[in-house]
């Protein structure tokens, strides 16, 4: 009867020291590329020259709008971002925190500053978490240099 107890103790110990089950051996950029639902985001990160930053050690938290979320953005807004790389970089940096945040962290604070410099706010209602007015549709996608939280809307910095 000792073997099952020893095995259980070993499994508990291994779980305590192992990286989270969601962690991947890819950085944030490669994780987004591999997901296949962030083609627009990845292209804009490339256009803004931010790939190197998001491949660096971090840690980062990225609120990643899906391709569907970008489809909701007016064409003239996307065109303006394409023409103004500084504005594009600012909008993308508004989606990034310069530390790794879990979904549970959003329950503990009302707001925090982004890499862009302005704050985002958090609200948790009935099991749904919101960053500003964007719903987090999938939380805690792990990467080697941080975490991605998938959102259903593009965040625009306040003017």
Q: Domain total for the chain?
A: 1
In a domain, 5, yes or no: no
pLDDT tens for residues 25-58? 899 999 999 888 899 999 999 999 999 999 998 8
Cα–Cα dist 52/35, whole Å: 19
In a domain, 77, yes or no: yes
Backbone Cα Rg of the chain: 18
In a domain, 120, yes or no: yes
Cα–Cα dist 41/55, whole Å: 15
In a domain, 159, yes or no: no
In a domain, 6, yes or no: no
Q: Which of 56, 37, 58 is nearest to 152 (CA)?
A: 37
Chain centroid to Cα 83, Å, comes to 25
- CATH code: domain of residue 41: 2.30.180.10
Cα–Cα dist 30/45, whole Å: 12
Query: What pTM, to 2 d.p., does this model score?
Result: 0.83
State the residue range of the domain holding 64: 22-151
pLDDT tens for residues 87-117? 999 999 999 999 999 999 999 999 999 999 9
In a domain, 16, yes or no: no
């Amino acid at each position: 009867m000792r073997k099952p107890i020893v095995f259980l103790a070993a499994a508990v110990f291994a779980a305590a020291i192992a990286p989270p089950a969601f962690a991947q051996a890819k950085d944030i950029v490669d994780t987004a590329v591999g997901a296949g639902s962030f083609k627009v985001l990845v292209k804009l990160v490339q256009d803004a020259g931010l790939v190197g930053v998001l491949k660096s050690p971090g840690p980062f938290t990225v609120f990643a709008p899906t391709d569907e979320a970008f489809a909701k953005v007016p064409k003239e807004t996307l065109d303006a971002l394409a023409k103004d790389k500084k504005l594009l970089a600012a909008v993308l940096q508004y989606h990034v925190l310069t530390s790794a945040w879990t979904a549970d962290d959003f329950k503990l604070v009302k707001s925090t500053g982004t890499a862009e410099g302005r704050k985002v706010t958090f609200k948790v209602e009935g099991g749904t978490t919101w960053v500003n007015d964007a719903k987090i549709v999938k939380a805690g996608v792990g990467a080697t240099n941080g975490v991605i939280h998938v959102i259903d809307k593009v965040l625009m910095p306040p003017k």
